Amino acid sequence: SQTIHQWPATLVQPVGSPLSLECTVEGTSNPNLYWYRQAAGRGLQLLFYSVGIGQISSEVPQNLSASRPQDRQFILSSKKLLLSDSGFYLCACLPAEMNTEAFFGQGTRLTVV
């Protein structure tokens, strides 16, 4: 079965510092990968998704970027964090055929101070 590893679980970073959140997937090949952000008490906002190595689609213009250097690795980055980047970040994996459930990592709570 599929497993997603997402780390770290909690992160406190100063404004202007860089960010790197990593997500790795086990148990599947060539998955679709997603990064979401969730503000407190709100829904999930799709930030980026990827259907293959090096293929990144961005949903919302912002201070973040994503990369997929390997088939089962998805990285969320920022060169300089803003206060508004605070939130709960979730990585998700969906098999390429899309006709099944998505698996989620446990999330990273990012606080920019």
Using CB under 8 A as the criterion, which residues of the chain lie in contact with other proteins when the complex forms? 6, 32, 34, 36, 41-46, 49, 51, 57, 59, 88, 90, 92, 94, 98-107, 109
The position carrying tokens 């960010």 is 19
Smallest separation (angstroms) from other proteins to the CB of 59: 7
Select from 53, 113, 60 the least CA-distant residue to 83: 113
Smallest separation (angstroms) from other proteins to the CB of 18: 25
Q: What is the greatest pairwise CA distance in the chain?
A: 41
Report the 10 Å Cβ neighbour count for 41: 5
- Cβ proximity to other proteins, 18 vs 26, nearer residue: 26
